[in-house]
């Protein structure tokens, strides 16, 4: 068996006050014919990063509505995770000198994991590229696959390097279905799986997202020597070039010229599948230099979910200056806490940050600094944007909507035999309605990948 992740139970009923009766009723109705469905999620790590965050909430809720859901993590060693990190970067568009032995490492670890795969499920959902070869390898090993296999891609593939995507593509093509965060991320040359578009979501009842009493927020700040009386900008992200912590420091320095008592907190969790993290941490620390108002914090000095929550709640401005971002759960988290968010105009961020309404979308260090300054100088505007952002998240990006999309998807799977023409099906295409609020679901068959 792969590594089983044990999870605390969750009850859908507890979400009623936040999402309302209609949402709860719809979820129960959708789940009724799916009772007992055996569902397995597989990814690379049980904590650190957005995927782990999502599965921690989604899997217990799937269980609560009657599915037999599990979450398992693959096994790997440093050489494997170094390759998968390079793969991740390559899929986001970063050039890398690939060698044949890197692909061999990736395949070898997938093979080891395929051999550990010893149960059958109705639906297997494989997250991201690390374990992507499992569908094919498990099938090869058993002389055919049982159940439906779905590849869930959390990455923005728009500018994927061909040398990486061309290698990965045949492994993805053999899935029954593939889920992407945005329809724009679907590669036009991916033929085979049905395509679904489902943006991620946050759990409003998790330790990270439930409101904390003010005295607890203050106590957390003081514990990390952050002054609760002075203005604060916060970015919570892995130390990774795509999250641009160096750019955040540069923007903070520009704002400090006008707001000399500004403080910056950069929180990063060091994920197990992120060997680059340490190297980039060091670069960020050097960049911060001797400025004691820049606080570099991580899980290693005790910053867990509660502390992240406190920093996001305390921030006058939440920043997410990403250069690439599949979705950006941290943006959702900041908006949910009623904070205006200044964020890179990339990937899934514009779904959440509606420019001038729930925050500001920015394209450079100067742009970022200008908008952070604007929010610090206009607290009433910050308050209005924060309130709009919270409502936007409530309607579109809570875990109940995510659960709904999966339940809808499962109900389409019986029709999921790839046709001879390799028809694609978009189930759950998210697109803002004319008023900018609300996301519509559509179940529509369409040939090709990008259309529809």
Count, residues near ligand UDP per rule CB under 6 A: 18
| Cα angle: 90, vertex 91, 93; to 5 degrees | 65
Nearer CB in complex with ligand UDP: 128/176:
128
The contact mask relative to ligand UDP for 209-238 (x = CB under 6 A, - = no) is ---------------------------xxx
SS3 182: coil
Element (H, E) at 178: strand 177-180
Cβ 102 to ligand UDP, closest distance in Å? 22
> Could you tell me the CA-to-CA distances from 267 to 47, 110, 243, 255 in Å, in that order?
15, 32, 12, 19
Phi (first) and psi of residue 307, to 5 degrees: -70, -40
For residues 107 and 270, which CB has a smaller minimum distance to ligand UDP in the complex? 270
The distance in angstroms from the start CA to the end CA of the chain is 39
Which x/- pattern, by CB under 6 A, does the window 277-316 give for ligand UDP?
---------------------x------x--x--------
Q: Using the rule CB under 6 A, is 268 a contact of ligand UDP?
A: yes
* E runs forming strands in 30-141: 38-43, 68-73, 123-127
Euclidean distance between CA atoms 89 and 84, whole angstroms: 9
Choose the binding region for ligand UDP from 27-35, 115-123, 321-329, 424-432 (rule: CB under 6 A): 321-329
| Beta strand extents in 59-204 (DSSP E only) | 68-73, 123-127, 148-152, 177-180, 194-197
Stretch that binds ligand UDP, among 76-84, 226-234, 263-271, 286-294 (CB under 6 A): 263-271
SS3 content of the chain, % helix, strand, coil (to 5): 45, 15, 40
| Residue with smallest beta-carbon separation from ligand UDP | 50
Least distance between ligand UDP and beta carbon 328 (Å): 5
Query: Which 50-109 positions form the footprint of ligand UDP (CB under 6 A)?
Result: 50, 53
Q: Where are the alpha helices (DSSP H) in 327-378?
A: 329-336, 349-352, 365-377
> 426 — alpha (psi -120 to 50), left (phi > 0) or beta?
beta
For residue 432, the 8-state DSSP code is: B
Contact flags string 326-345 toward ligand UDP, x per CB under 6 A: -xxxx--x------------
Across the strands, what pairs with 443?
427
Closer to ligand UDP by CB, 133 or 236: give it. 236
Q: Would you tell me the crossing angle of helices 245-256 and 276-288 to the nearest 10 degrees? A: 20
Question: In this chain, which of 267, 372, 376, 399 binds ligand UDP, going by CB under 6 A?
Answer: 267
Residue 245 near ligand UDP by CB under 6 A = no
Q: Which of 37, 49, 130, 341 binds ligand UDP (CB under 6 A)?
A: 49
Nearer to ligand UDP, 26 or 276 (CB): 276
Nearer to ligand UDP by C-beta: 298 or 364?
Answer: 298
Binding-site ranges for ligand UDP (CB under 6 A)? 49-50, 53, 208, 236-238, 267-269, 298, 305, 308, 327-330, 333
């Amino acid at each position: 068996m792969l590594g089983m992740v044990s999870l605390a139970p969750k009850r859908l009923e507890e979400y009623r006050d936040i999402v309302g009766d209609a949402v709860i009723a719809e979820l129960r109705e959708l789940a009724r014919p799916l009772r007992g469905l055996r569902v397995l999620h597989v990814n690379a790590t049980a904590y650190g990063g957005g995927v782990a965050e999502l599965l921690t909430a989604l899997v217990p809720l799937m269980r609560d509505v009657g599915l037999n859901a599990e979450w398992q993590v693959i096994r790997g060693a440093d050489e494997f995770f170094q390759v998968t990190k390079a793969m991740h970067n390559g899929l986001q568009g970063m050039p890398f000198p690939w060698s044949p032995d890197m692909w061999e490492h990736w395949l070898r670890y997938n093979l080891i994991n395929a051999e550990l795969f010893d149960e059958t499920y109705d639906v297997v959902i494989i997250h991201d590229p690390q374990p992507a070869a499992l569908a094919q390898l498990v099938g090869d090993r058993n002389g055919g696959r049982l159940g439906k296999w779905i590849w869930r891609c959390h990455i923005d593939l728009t500018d994927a390097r061909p040398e990486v995507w061309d290698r990965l593509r045949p492994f993805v093509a053999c899935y029954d279905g593939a889920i992407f965060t945005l329809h724009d991320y679907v590669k036009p040359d991916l033929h085979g799986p049905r395509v679904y578009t489902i943006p991620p979501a946050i759990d409003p009842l998790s330790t990270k997202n439930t409101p904390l009493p003010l005295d607890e927020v203050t106590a957390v700040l003081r514990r990390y020597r952050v002054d609760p009386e002075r203005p604060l900008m916060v970015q919570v992200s892995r130390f990774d070039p795509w999250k641009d912590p160096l750019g955040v420091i540069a923007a903070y320095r520009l704002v400090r010229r006008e707001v000399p008592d500004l403080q910056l907190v950069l929180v990063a969790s060091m994920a197990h599948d992120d060997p680059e993290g340490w190297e980039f941490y060091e670069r960020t620390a050097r960049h911060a230099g001797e400025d004691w108002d820049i606080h570099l914090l991580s899980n290693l000095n005790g910053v867990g979910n509660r502390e992240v929550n406190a920093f996001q709640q305390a921030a006058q401005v939440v920043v997410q200056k990403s250069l690439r971002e599949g979705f950006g759960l941290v943006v959702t988290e900041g908006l949910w806490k009623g904070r205006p968010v200044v964020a890179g105009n990339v990937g899934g961020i514009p779904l959440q940050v509606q420019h001038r309404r729930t925050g500001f979308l920015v394209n450079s260090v100067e742009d970022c600094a200008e908008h952070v300054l604007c929010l610090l100088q206009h607290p009433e505007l910050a308050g209005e944007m924060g309130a709009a952002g919270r409502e936007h998240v409530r309607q579109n990006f809570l875990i109940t909507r995510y659960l709904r999309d999966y339940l809808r998807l499962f109900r389409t799977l019986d029709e999921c035999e790839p046709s001879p023409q390799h028809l694609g099906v978009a189930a759950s295409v998210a697109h803002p309605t004319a008023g900018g609020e609300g996301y519509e679901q559509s179940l529509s068959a369409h040939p090709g990948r990008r259309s529809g």
